[in-house]
Amino acid sequence: MKKDLRSHWSLRFLIIYRKMVTRNGMLYPILGFASCVAFLYMSFGDLKLSASFTKGPRFSFVERNGTQFFLNGKPLYVNGWNSYWLMAHSVDESSRPKVSAMLQAGAKMGLTVCRTWAFNDGGYNALQISPGQFDERVFKALDYVIAEARQQGIRLLLSLVNNLQPYGGKTQYVNWAWQEGVGLSSSNDSFFFDPSIRKYFKNYVLTVLTRKNTITGIQYRNDPTIFAWELINEPRCMTDPSGDTLQDWLEEMSAFIKSIDKNHLLTIGLEGFYGPSSPKKATVNPEQWASALGADFMRNSNITNVDFASVHIYPDQWFHGLGFEEKRNYVSKWMHSHIEDCDKELKKPVMFTEYGLSDQNKDFQLSQREQLYRTIQDIIYKSAKKKGSGAGALVWQFFVEGMQEYSDDFGMVPWQSPPIYKLTIEHSCKLARIQGLIQENGNLKQLCSKRK
């Protein structure tokens, strides 16, 4: 690619120079030569940043075949993490080193996918300032995140909107419609049924998917660095517990995304609760409330344009009267149930895209976090060995030193928790061996050689 660029600009230089020589005698060739040198300098100056991001690993799109992900014809199983803050922390160039450090650290642990926000609606450093109005500074921050992830060999699962209020979410869309006098309702759930708000969101999706990265020059929809799109983080529509409203929105938006981008996989962002029509609502859901949230794991995940199912794992948020061992046993039941659903009925992969254990629990010990994570990772490993649908899990959440304002009671700097750090690397290596990747990847070969 670099040779092609040089040949292109060299040819343009010769054409311009010859024209100036033949038309203007002796003085103008000198001026012409100086102009061409300046022209070339400015042109290659614009390419400097882009060229620095062309040395990363060669990427192909992740595909799905039945219940498995495939990459370059081989099954792919994911050990990954969440760092929702990557775009927000890339707006100011002075804080970008922390983004780079987090992605480098992920790669050094053998992690392959990072889930992060591709939205910030309204408020401070918003990507979307108002419907259809974008801050180019923030878009360039997202450009940087994608380019830097590619450099480190990390793929991104990009979420497009929040069901919750942080970073705007559906509340911000409803407020915009209300302020413009076109909103049908002040209810947050009108995000799912108001035609004006649906139009806002579709315009946002179109703008993001067709965005041309200012660093790499690649449109997002054509960039294999992006592992998949996630429609919405933890969707709920409690005003319609039948689930019809959310189902209609998911069907429309998933079809819309696929009409623009046929390269990437698509998931929803569900928590995984079974809906009112599911027989598992009484046997697997944490409690009765979980079936009345307007979401339905089986029905939602069965949408044709949804490529893989998504599930979250937060036993200490769902139960308050159980001890740690009871919660850990429940997690095993929860995961096996969803893997079974995807193996036998949905015929799609399932990713556990968030899992964590709060350090604010009264009886919290770091060893509990290690035990829970080991349980989750062992279930993924066993499914992978059987070529099952349990395709991977992403811990919530990792960050680096000096970022306490972005942390929560689940977050951690992984290398400050040696048992978690060691466990994470071991799981990466176990999955890599199943996929036959260790000999092909220098980083994994070095990382896993001592962990046979």
* pLDDT tens digit sequence for 50-100: 555 555 567 899 999 999 999 999 999 999 999 999 999 999 999 999 999
More confident residue, 166 or 24: 166
Whole-angstrom distance, CA of residue 173 vs CA of residue 179? 10
**252 an active-site residue?**
no
Q: Which residues pair with 351 in a beta bridge?
A: 310, 392
Lowest mean pLDDT of 21-25, 160-164, 200-204, name the range. 21-25
Q: Which residues pair with 237 in a beta bridge?
A: none
The pLDDT of residue 321? 86
Query: Which band of pLDDT confidence, cut at 50, 70 and 90, is reported for residue 17?
Result: very low
Whole-angstrom distance, CA of residue 192 vs CA of residue 169? 12
Phi then psi dihedrals of residue 246, to 5 deg: -65, -40
Burial of 26 (0-12, 13-18, 19+ CB in 10 A): exposed
Tens of pLDDT, residue by residue over 320-379, are 889 999 999 999 999 999 999 999 999 999 999 999 999 999 889 999 999 999 999 999
What average pLDDT is seen over the chain?
88
The pLDDT of residue 115? 98
The pLDDT of residue 27? 39
Burial of 401 (0-12, 13-18, 19+ CB in 10 A): exposed
Tens of pLDDT, residue by residue over 173-230, are 999 999 999 999 999 999 999 999 999 999 999 999 999 999 999 999 999 999 999 9
- The two structure tokens encoding residue 318: 């769902």
Query: Which band of pLDDT confidence, cut at 50, 70 and 90, is reported for residue 449?
Result: confident
Whole-angstrom distance, CA of residue 140 vs CA of residue 90? 8
CB 413 within 8 A of CB 400: yes
Residue type, 298: M
Q: Residues 148, 271, 354, 426: which is the catalytic one?
A: 354
Query: Which band of pLDDT confidence, cut at 50, 70 and 90, is reported for residue 45?
Result: very low
CB 272 within 8 A of CB 334: yes
**440 an active-site residue?**
no
The candidate with the shortest Cα–Cα distance to 394, out of 62, 78, 148, is: 78
> For residue 126, is pLDDT > 70?
yes
Give the dihedral sign, CA 104/105/108/110.
negative
Query: Which band of pLDDT confidence, cut at 50, 70 and 90, is reported for residue 441?
Result: low
Residues of the chain above pLDDT 90, percent: 80
> For residue 29, is pLDDT > 90?
no
Mean pLDDT to the nearest integer, 264-282? 96
Phi then psi dihedrals of residue 71, to 5 deg: -135, 120
The pLDDT of residue 445? 76
Q: Residues 148, 230, 234, 271: which is the catalytic one?
A: 234
